[in-house]
Amino acid sequence: MNPLIKKLVIVIVIIIVLSGIYCGSYLPFRKSQFYINAQTGLRGVRSLDDFNNLFDPALGFYSPVGQDEVVSGYLQTLISLTSQQSNKELIDILVKQAEARTAPILEKEKGFNFSQNIYNLAAIYAVSAIKFNDDIYYQKGVETFRLGLKHSPNRQMFLYGLFNLYQFKGDKEGMKEIGETILKYWPDDLQILKSVAPVSNKQ
């Protein structure tokens, strides 16, 4: 082999190896570091700006892997925050942020944490709907839980989440439909049996 070509091949191989290390190891490691820092810094949060300044580095840092996992953790934190907060204006902002972070994942319709991210967003809607008796969040919650069932028809977390929303709203038809599906897979669930039986008796 021509010495010049040989040197060129070696250089190309080195570049490929270093690029692989950088993209496959360093970038995911840095992203995980940002996320860990965000989680450990939560106790010091005193405002929405503090919260966003904690999580934005992890959510915005590019890595070929890890974004779906970081978004999932972020959404789970938002579920906790929406459960604790009584400020509707703040909840509205947090929900919008959740939607913005989840939108690229939903558009891909795939990913390591795809189903979990759908559930987390649906749970944020559900908590907000129940806390404020908000019809818009209720409808979004129903639609998002149903989106989860479209991709995972028998997934327990989607079925129970949707059933609980229907029960909150007093939607007897919805309770009957989802309750019967739950009982098909978990026939010993007495709570669902008690909830569905009165609905069925009225038919």
Sign for the pseudo-dihedral over CA of 25, 26, 27, 29: positive
Mean pLDDT of the 92-99 span: 97
Listed residue (132, 106, 101, 119) closest to 160, CA to CA: 119
Rounded Cα gap, residues 31 and 64, in angstroms: 10
Mean pLDDT of the 68-92 span: 94
Is the pLDDT at 203 greater than 60? The verdict is no
CB within 8 A of 122, min separation 6: which ones?
141, 144, 145, 147, 148, 158, 161
Question: Is 30 within 8 Å of 63 (Cβ atoms)?
Answer: yes
CB within 8 A of 74, min separation 6: which ones?
38, 55, 58, 59, 101
Mean pLDDT of the 10-15 span: 59
Is the pLDDT at 163 greater than 90? The verdict is yes
Mean pLDDT of the 9-28 span: 62
Rounded Cα gap, residues 6 and 35, in angstroms: 43
Question: Is 74 within 8 Å of 42 (Cβ atoms)?
Answer: no
Is the pLDDT at 38 greater than 80? The verdict is yes
64-74 per-position pLDDT tens digit: 888 999 999 99
What DSSP character marks residue 45?
Answer: -
Average pLDDT, the chain: 88
Residues of the chain with pLDDT > 90: what percent?
69
Read off the pLDDT band of 111 (50, 70, 90).
confident
CA dihedral of 23, 25, 26, 29, whole degrees rounded to 10: 120
